[in-house]
C-alpha cells in the first residue's frame, strides 16, 4: 500500500474566503486526506434540531474540487452548551465527586445513556447528509476517547450502570461477595443496589471492586463507540476510524477496534517525553527535540494490532505543542523522520495536526503547517520534501515479524489497582521489553492475548495478571520460545491470589513465595551482568535456573520452551537474555546503538537516527534525524 499524507482542517475557524487557497495549497503539498468537523457541533446544530450544514457542504465541495478526500467526523467530543440544559446530569464526574464543567471539551459521561442517544442522533444526521458524498471516504468517530481522564466517571449514571453491570456479571450478590473477598473488613453486600463506585472510600477500596469498575468503564467506551458505529454502518461502507492516544490505557482498545475498520492514533513525540513518559532529566535533555526513540514505534505496532493490520497516524505533531511542561520545536528533520517511521511500521496515512495554527483559544500556541498569518511554518519545507519522497517510495509491503509482545489492557488496570511498588506499571514494563527487542534491531508485532501466536518464534508476555481462557494451552503447545515476565499469572480474574500461588502454571514447578519492590538506585546486580530494578520475586523451583542475582537467588527459570522471569530487569540484562533466546531460535539480531533504530518490512529496510548528533552505524555516518531507506529485492 502506497502511504498517503493528510491534515486536520477546521474551515469553521477561518473566513470562507480563505478556503479555496487552503485547498489549493493542500493539493500542491501532495496531501490526500483532510479531516473535518470533529469539534463543529455548535456550528452544525446551533440550537436543538436547528441545523446549519450549508457551510460544511461548501467546505467539502472546495476540498473535493482539488481532488482531496475527506475524513468526516462525528462531533460528539464537544457537545454544545445547550446540550447541558437538555441533560444537566450528562457531565462526567471526577474521582473526587466533582462534576467536570463546560468550557473545554469531552465533558460527557460515557454512562449517560441519554447523551449516548444524542451522540447517535447527530452521527445519523451527519451520516445521512454526507455518506454518499464522493469526497467523503472515511469516518472518524468522536475524538480521542479517554483524553483528559474521561473514560472513568463517578457520576450517578455510572453508579446505576455499574450496579446493573455487576448484577448481569455475578447474578447473585453472594457470588460477588465471594469473588471480591468482601468478608475482609465486613464489606459484604446484601443487594446490588447497595454497591457504590470505588471512589471516596475512607481508605483504599477493594482491588476487585476497582478492577470491575475499570472493566465496567471500559465497556461503556466500547458501547458508546459501537452505538455510533452501528448508526454509521447503516449509511456507509467507508472505513470507520477512531483516533486513539499515546500512553492512555483506560479502556480496552482492542474491543473498541473490533467495531471499527482502521485504528489511528495521535502522535506528539515531544509532548509525550515528559507529559506521558516521565522521562529522566538526562533522557529529556538528550531527546528533548526528538522524542523517545521507542515510544512512537511501540504505539505504531500496538495500533496496527488494534486495527487488525490497518492503521494511520491521524494527528502528527508538526512543531511545538502547547500542553507539555516545556514545548521545544522538533529538531530539523524529525517531522520527516516521524512520518517515515510511521510508514516503516505500515501506516496507510499520516495526517498533520493541524493545517493552520489557530490565533485564538486554548491551542493558539500549538504549531500547524501554516502560521496564523497563513505563511508556511518552519516545518513546511520539510513536509514538502517528505511528500515528494513518499510519492516515489512505492508500496511498503507488510513485515513478517518473528517476535510477538503481548500487551493487555486488563493487566494495566490490575497493576494500577494494586501496584505494590511505585514504579510498577504494565505499560512501562511492556515498553521496557519492547525497547530491549528494538535494541536488537528486531521487527515486532504487539498483540492481544487472544491473538494467534503460532506464527511467531518468540513470544513475550511481560506481566499478564491472570491467565485468560486457552492461553496456557496455547503456550504449552507453542513451537517457539515463550518468555513470561514478572507477576504473570499472579492473580485470578477476580483479583485474588491463585490457590497454588503465582505463576500458577500446571506442570511448571515455580512458586513465587513473596515479592519485593524497591526504590530506584537500589538495583540488585545479576551474576551474568546487568541488574534487577523496581521489582523482584522470591522464586522456589526445581526447574533449571538460567540467571541468578550475585547472591545466588534465582531470577530466570526455564522448563523446555518456557521461561519465567521473576524480576524487572534493566536494559543490559533484558537485552542479554532476549538475545540469547533469539540466538537459540535463529532469529537474526543487530546490535543497535542508542538512538539508532530500524524496521525491516518485506519490501524495505528503514534506519532512523533519533540522536541530535551524527552517529556511525554499519560503517556509515548517519546525520542527526537522518532516515535511511533501502529497497529490498
Ligand atoms: C490532540 C487532540 C487535538 C489537539 C491536539 C493538540 O490530543 O485530538 O484536538 O488538541 O491534541 O496537541
Q: Rounded to the nearest whole angstrom, what is the distance from the C-alpha of residue 524 to the centroid of ligand 1? A: 41
Q: Rounded to the nearest whole angstrom, what is the distance from the C-alpha of residue 269 to the centroid of ligand 1? A: 13
pLDDT over 90 (residue 278): no
pLDDT digit string, tens, across residues 548-581: 999 999 999 999 999 999 999 999 999 999 999 9
Separation of alpha carbons 313 and 265, rounded Å: 5
pLDDT of residue 109: 98
Host H or E run for residue 36: strand 33-36
pLDDT of residue 46: 98
C-alpha cell at 304: 496496527
Q: Contact 246/276 with Cβ under 8 angstroms?
A: yes
Q: Please, is 452 exposed, middle or buried when counting C-beta atoms within 10 Å of its C-beta (0-12, 13-18, 19+)?
A: exposed
Separation of alpha carbons 410 and 429, rounded Å: 14
> How sure is the predictor about 354, in pLDDT bands with cuts at 50, 70 and 90?
very high
pLDDT of residue 240: 98
Ligand 1: atom nearest CA of 245 is: 7
pLDDT of residue 550: 98
Q: Rounded to the nearest whole angstrom, what is the distance from the C-alpha of residue 433 to the centroid of ligand 1? A: 29
Q: Rounded to the nearest whole angstrom, what is the distance from the C-alpha of residue 46 to the centroid of ligand 1? A: 23
Q: Rounded to the nearest whole angstrom, what is the distance from the C-alpha of residue 270 to the centroid of ligand 1? A: 13
pLDDT over 80 (residue 1): no
List the residue whose alpha carbon is closest to atom 11 of ligand 1: 266
Other C-beta atoms closer than 10 Å to the C-beta of 393 total 17
Dihedral, CA of residue 53, residue 57, residue 63 and residue 66, to nearest 10 = 180
Separation of alpha carbons 238 and 235, rounded Å: 9
pLDDT digit string, tens, across residues 224-260: 999 999 999 999 999 999 999 999 999 999 999 999 9
> How sure is the predictor about 469, in pLDDT bands with cuts at 50, 70 and 90?
confident
> How sure is the predictor about 97, in pLDDT bands with cuts at 50, 70 and 90?
very high
Mean per-residue pLDDT for 527-553? 98
Q: Which of 38, 118, 315, 346 is catalytic?
A: 315
Mean per-residue pLDDT for 196-225? 98
Q: 108 CB less than 6 Å from ligand 1?
A: no
Looking at every residue in the chain, the average pLDDT score rounds to: 97
pLDDT over 80 (residue 209): yes
Distances (CA, A) of 600 to 238, 441, 583: 30, 9, 18
Reduced to 3 states (helix: H, G, I; strand: E, B; else coil), residue 10 is coil
Q: Which of 144, 382, 416, 426 is catalytic?
A: 144
List the residue whose alpha carbon is closest to atom 1 of ligand 1: 266
pLDDT of residue 633: 81
Mean per-residue pLDDT for 406-425? 97
pLDDT digit string, tens, across residues 25-48: 999 999 999 999 999 999 999 999
C-alpha cell at 423: 514504579
Q: Contact 183/177 with Cβ under 8 angstroms?
A: yes
C-alpha cell at 107: 465533558
Q: 266 CB less than 6 Å from ligand 1?
A: yes
pTM of the model: 0.98
Q: 353 CB less than 6 Å from ligand 1?
A: yes
Pocket test for ligand 1, best of 7, 144, 319 (most atoms within 8 A of CB): 144
List the residue whose alpha carbon is closest to atom 12 of ligand 1: 321
Reduced to 3 states (helix: H, G, I; strand: E, B; else coil), residue 83 is helix
Distances (CA, A) of 284 to 280, 288, 570, 626: 6, 5, 19, 20
Separation of alpha carbons 244 and 248, rounded Å: 8
Ligand 1: atom nearest CA of 143 is: 8
Other C-beta atoms closer than 10 Å to the C-beta of 630 total 9
pLDDT above 70 as % of the chain: 100
All structural domains of the chain, each given as residue ranges with its CATH number in brackets, are: 4-77+110-150+240-391 (3.20.20.80), 403-585 (3.40.50.880), 596-631 (no CATH)
pLDDT over 90 (residue 462): yes
pLDDT over 90 (residue 408): yes
Mean per-residue pLDDT for 494-519? 97
Q: Contact 142/74 with Cβ under 8 angstroms?
A: yes
Alpha carbon of residue 122 to chain centroid: 27
Q: 268 CB less than 6 Å from ligand 1?
A: yes
Q: Rounded to the nearest whole angstrom, what is the distance from the C-alpha of residue 343 to the centroid of ligand 1? A: 21
Active-site residue, 315 included: yes
- Closest by CA to 8, choosing from 39, 46, 51, is 39
Amino acid at each position: 500500500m502506497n502511504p498517503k499524507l493528510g491534515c486536520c482542517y477546521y474551515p469553521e475557524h477561518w473566513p470562507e474566503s480563505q478556503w479555496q487557497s487552503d485547498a489549493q495549497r493542500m493539493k500542491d503539498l501532495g496531501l490526500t486526506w483532510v479531516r473535518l468537523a470533529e469539534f463543529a457541533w455548535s456550528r452544525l446544530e446551533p440550537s436543538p434540531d436547528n441545523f446549519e450544514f450549508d457551510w460544511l457542504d461548501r467546505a467539502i465541495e472546495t476540498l473535493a474540487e482539488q481532488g482531496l478526500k475527506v475524513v468526516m467526523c462525528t462531533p460528539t467530543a464537544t457537545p454544545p452548551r445547550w446540550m447541558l440544559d437538555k441533560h444537566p446530569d450528562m457531565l462526567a464526574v471526577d474521582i473526587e465527586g466533582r462534576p467536570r464543567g463546560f468550557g473545554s471539551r469531552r465533558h460527557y459521561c460515557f454512562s449517560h445513556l441519554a447523551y449516548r442517544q444524542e451522540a447517535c442522533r447527530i452521527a445519523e444526521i451527519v451520516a445521512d447528509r454526507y455518506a454518499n458524498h464522493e469526497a467523503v471516504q472515511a469516518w472518524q468517530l468522536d475524538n480521542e476517547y479517554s483524553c483528559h481522564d474521561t473514560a472513568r466517571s463517578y457520576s450517578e449514571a455510572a453508579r446505576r450502570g455499574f450496579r446493573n453491570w455487576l448484577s448481569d456479571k455475578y447474578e447473585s450478590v453472594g457470588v460477588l461477595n465471594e469473588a471480591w473477598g468482601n468478608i475482609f473488613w465486613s464489606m459484604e453486600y446484601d443487594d446490588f443496589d447497595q454497591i457504590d463506585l470505588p471512589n471516596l472510600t475512607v481508605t483504599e477500596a477493594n482491588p476487585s471492586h476497582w478492577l470491575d469498575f475499570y472493566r465496567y468503564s471500559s465497556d461503556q467506551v466500547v458501547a458508546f463507540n459501537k452505538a455510533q458505529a452501528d448508526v454509521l454502518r447503516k449509511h456507509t461502507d467507508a472505513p470507520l476510524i477512531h483516533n486513539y492516544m499515546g500512553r492512555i490505557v483506560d479502556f480496552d482498545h482492542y474491543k473498541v477496534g473490533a467495531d471499527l475498520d482502521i485504528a489511528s492514533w495521535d502522535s506528539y513525540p515531544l509532548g509525550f517525553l515528559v507529559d506521558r513518559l516521565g522521562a529522566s532529566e538526562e533522557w529529556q535533555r538528550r531527546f528533548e527535540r526528538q522524542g523517545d526513540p521507542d515510544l512512537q514505534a511501540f504505539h505504531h505496532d500496538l495500533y496496527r494490532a488494534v486495527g487488525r493490520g490497518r492503521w494511520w497516524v491521524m494527528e502528527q505533531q508538526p512543531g511545538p505543542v502547547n500542553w507539555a511542561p516545556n514545548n521545544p520545536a522538533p529538531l530539523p528533520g524529525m517531522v520527516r523522520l516521524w512520518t517515515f517511521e510511521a510508514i516503516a511500521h505500515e501506516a496507510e496515512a499520516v495526517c498533520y495536526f493541524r493545517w493552520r495554527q489557530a490565533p485564538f483559544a486554548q491551542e493558539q500556541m500549538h504549531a500547524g503547517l501554516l502560521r496564523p498569518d497563513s505563511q508556511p511554518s518552519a516545518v513546511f519545507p520539510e513536509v514538502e520534501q517528505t511528500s515528494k519522497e513518499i510519492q516515489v517510495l512505492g508500496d511498503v509491503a507488510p513485515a513478517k515479524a518473528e517476535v510477538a509482545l503481548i500487551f493487555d489492557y486488563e493487566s494495566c488496570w490490575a497493576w494500577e489497582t494494586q501496584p505494590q511498588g511505585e514504579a510498577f506499571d504494565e505499560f512501562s514494563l511492556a515498553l521496557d521489553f519492547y525497547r530491549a527487542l528494538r535494541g536488537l534491531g528486531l521487527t515486532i508485532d504487539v498483540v492481544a492475548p487472544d491473538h494467534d501466536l503460532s506464527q511467531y518464534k518468540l513470544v513475550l508476555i511481560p506481566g499478564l495478571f491472570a491467565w485468560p481462557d486457552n492461553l496456557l494451552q496455547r503456550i504449552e503447545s507453542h513451537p517457539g520460545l515463550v518468555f513470561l515476565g514478572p507477576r504473570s499469572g499472579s492473580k485470578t480474574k477476580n483479583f485474588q491470589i491463585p490457590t497454588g500461588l503465582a505463576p500458577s502454571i500446571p506442570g511448571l514447578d515455580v512458586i513465587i513465595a513473596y515479592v519485593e519492590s524497591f526504590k530506584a538506585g537500589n538495583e540488585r546486580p545479576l551474576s551474568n551482568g546487568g541488574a534487577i530494578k523496581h521489582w523482584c520475586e522470591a522464586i522456589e523451583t526445581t526447574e533449571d535456573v538460567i540467571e541468578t542475582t550475585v547472591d545466588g537467588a534465582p531470577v530466570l527459570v526455564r522448563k523446555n520452551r518456557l521461561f519465567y522471569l521473576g524480576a524487572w530487569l534493566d536494559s543490559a540484562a533484558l537485552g542479554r537474555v532476549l538475545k540469547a533466546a533469539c540466538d537459540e531460535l535463529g532469529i537474526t539480531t543487530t546490535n543497535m546503538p542508542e538512538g539508532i533504530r530500524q524496521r525491516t518490512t518485506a519490501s524495505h529496510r528503514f534506519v532512523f537516527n533519533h540522536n541530535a548528533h551524527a552517529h556511525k552505524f554499519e560503517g556509515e555516518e548517519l546525520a542527526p534525524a537522518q532516515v535511511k531507506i533501502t529497497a529490498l529485492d
